[in-house]
A and B are shown apart, each in its own frame.
Chain A
Amino acid sequence: MTPPDTTPPAAFEWRSIQRGRRLRPLEWLVERGIFAVSLSAIVMVFLIFLFVAREALPILFGRMDSSVAQEQMTVEEMKALPEAEQARLVDMSLRDFREEDPETIELLLEVKAEEMQTIPDDPDIGANTVSWRYLVFPHQWTGYDQPEYIWQPVSQIHKYNIVPLFIGSLKATLVALLFAVPFSLGAAIYVSQLAAPRTRELLKPVIEMLAGIPSVVLGFFALIVMASVLQDFFGYQSRLNALVAGLALGIAIIPVVFSIAEDALTSVPRSYTQAALALGSSKWQAAWRVVLPAAIPGVFAAVVLGFGRAIGETMIVLMASGNASILSWDPLDSVRTVTATIAAELAETVFGGHHYRMLFLLGTLLFAVTFVANLVADVVIHRLKKRLEGLA
């Protein structure tokens, strides 16, 4: 057997040409500039992480205290405190506090003092609900029968348990994947392996058109049309739930999963199929037993990317999921996802306060999840392409 032909394509030589005939200082400068700009994508990913995480840092390091009030004080007593303490009392950063005019500060302190006097008799009042213990573990809140996971930031005691939000996100994402993956995979196999070329040229752009529908339009469609149709059909209780949101999410990720899977299937060398057909298999058998196994990492990557897209989608879940943070695995219950929580609550928060920082913490976690998903998919696709190119 002769070794595979590894002669690099002609573009390779072009790339290694440094500067053509002459070396001009100006051109050298411009080329350095081009290089610098090309790093923008790396810089941006880095900045996104940095600046989203930055706002969440006080919570991560346990520097934030959301306990309602530890003691009762008068305004005069508060003013006697050091500046940093006062800033903490009115939920401001020290810099903002210094820039604020004294009258506003006095007003805020008065409100705080009043708030301190009207504290109800609740043992949870002193709890710092933004510490990790309260964020991830169930807690026995006053008035509840058993320890529970609760996300309830706008109440007297700010309950910030992130578990119901992530379960909600996973629930909607799971429904979306169960719906979208079989359809997109079937379509990818059909379009790349089975359809006649003329049909394929037509089908591919049409399916990709689905990607052109903005997510707010899909959210609208789910809210106005799908929710009613599905409720009439299944007759369940809450009109907006994880099923409706998940199906709409599924529609949103079909083009993603389809494109990547189709691309992976197409990049399997033709010789594979030709060999299978020559041995007497049908086109379906060749696609299913030869091409699909060869492209399976790509299919995996497609599903991972679909997962990342679904868990990060905002407008659809914000509009069609019902937005009640109920902890359950029943797809017919209303859900509140991480993304919808950020979108719905950020506008109402105090800038720099613990609620504001909690939402940035959610954003950081979400970014971490999708970053890992994207990275895994990227590496898998890259390896697959390299392997198939070597074999082609």
Chain B
Amino acid sequence: MDTQTPQLHFRPDPVDPDLGDLRVKSRDFASLFFTGLTGVATWLIIALLAVILGNILYHGWDTLSWRFITSNSDEDMFDVNRAGVLPMIVGTTARIFLMTLFVLPIGVITAIYLTEYAKRTTVLTRIIRGAVNNLAGVPSIVFGLFGLGFFISFVGGSMDQFLRAENADPLWGKPAILWASLTLAVMTLPVMIVATEESLRAIPPGLREGSLALGATKLQTIWKIVLPQALPGILTGGILSVSRAAGEVAPILFTGAAYYMSGYPRALTDQFMDLGYHVYILSTQSPNIEQTRPILYSTVLVLLLLTFTLNFVAILIRARMRRQMRALH
């Protein structure tokens, strides 16, 4: 008799054995039916997405012209032939750029603390994580109220009182692009933190240990080894927060968006026109909704192009990052 132990032939087991590879035949009708049902639910959601995007693309494409994108609407913003969205594009871009300046450093530093320093089990770590998750779920309109109550009337009001007490009319204590950007920065902080954390976690511990072994301090390791490696992830986080913020209207309703203004915001204390807010104005304040429908659709299309381009770039970077991570581990 053969004494050799029988060789069991397993497929080389990947770290994450994938169930999708398993082909199990459904034997009963119920299984087939419900599998089909969940599949239908999935594809219906995708169909819904396709319908929304298709509808906007179809109706918005006609009036979307170079002139529409590059002219402002000094004459009449409800006039189909003369309205343009340049001031709104400039306003939205400016406010998300400003926002990035605030949210990027704070988000990255918080993520560094959470991944590199915080012990996973302490109460404080739990509370920080809980706060981040909770911040992500605060209604956008509450951020608007917060921006008004904190940034404009408290911070701005105090600045007016101390810096320009002799001047009666407020400079800082009124809606402005600065306050809108700060409000949005608070709102998108969780997006930034979570994305950065993910990319920091993806870096193999061996790199850190190697650096320490060569005599670097922990901070040097983070600054010179960990952060450069995590850059794509940080970028993704930045882009995701920007795309989230680009379409938000509720937080800027009271903190800086203007119904109409001529010219562009030139100072931090100026108000601004905004793409999303303009969509709201065009769809609810238009004197003749049928006539203004083409510019409404085109404005929506411009807004969507802006947010989706950003999202798409973020998804691409993230997908590449995940592949690299799988390869490294």
Contacts and interface: CB of A to CB of B under 8 A. Distances in A.
Classify the interface of chain A: helix, strand, loop or mixed. Answer: helix
B199 interface: no
Contacts of B6: none
Given A14-B116, A360-B149, A212 B307 contact: yes
B112 to A, nearest CB: 6
Nearest 7 A-B pairs (CB), nearest first?
A214-B247, A312-B139, A186-B41, A38-B113, A20-B217, A197-B20, A190-B38
A163 interface: no
Contacts of B227: none
Nearest to B108: A37
Contact of A217 (B31, B56, B114, B293): B56
A63 interface: no
B247 A217 contact: yes
A161 B58 CA distance: 44
Contacts of B141: 312, 314, 339, 342-343, 363, 366
A195 B35 CA distance: 9
B137 A373 contact: yes
A360 B144 CA distance: 11
Interface residues of A, number: 114
Interface in A25-41: 27, 30-31, 33-35, 37-41
Given A41-B128, A48-B143, A15 B138 contact: no
A319 B284 contact: yes
24 contacts: A14-B208, A24-B217, A37-B105, A39-B128, A44-B189, A48-B186, A186-B40, A191-B42, A203-B46, A212-B307, A216-B303, A217-B279, A220-B279, A270-B16, A282-B25, A283-B22, A283-B31, A308-B137, A312-B139, A312-B140, A339-B141, A347-B253, A347-B254, A371-B138
Given A213-B304, A270-B19, A314-B139, A251 B113 contact: no
Interface in B28-59: 28, 30-32, 34-35, 37-42, 44-46, 48-49, 52, 55-56
A375 B324 CA distance: 34
B31 A284 contact: yes
Interface string A60-82: 00000000000000000000000
Select the residue from B22, B145, B247 with max chain A CB neighbours within 10 A: B145
Interface of A: 9-22, 24, 27, 30-31, 33-35, 37-42, 44-45, 47-48, 51-52, 54-55, 99, 101, 182-187, 189-191, 193-200, 203, 205-207, 209-210, 212-221, 223-225, 251, 254, 258, 270, 273-274, 277, 282-285, 288, 305, 308-309, 311-315, 318-319, 339, 342-343, 346-347, 351, 359-360, 363, 366-367, 370-371, 373-375, 377-378, 382
Interface stretch (B67-75, B77-85, B218-226): B218-226
Contact of A183 (B26, B44, B153, B303): B44
B134 interface: yes
B238 interface: no
B24 A47 contact: no
A206 B44 CA distance: 12
Interface stretch (B117-125, B229-237, B260-268): B117-125
B217 to A, nearest CB: 4
Given A10-B205, A213-B52, A377-B133, 6 more contacts: A15-B118, A38-B117, A52-B146, A284-B31, A319-B284, A346-B148
A12 B135 CA distance: 27
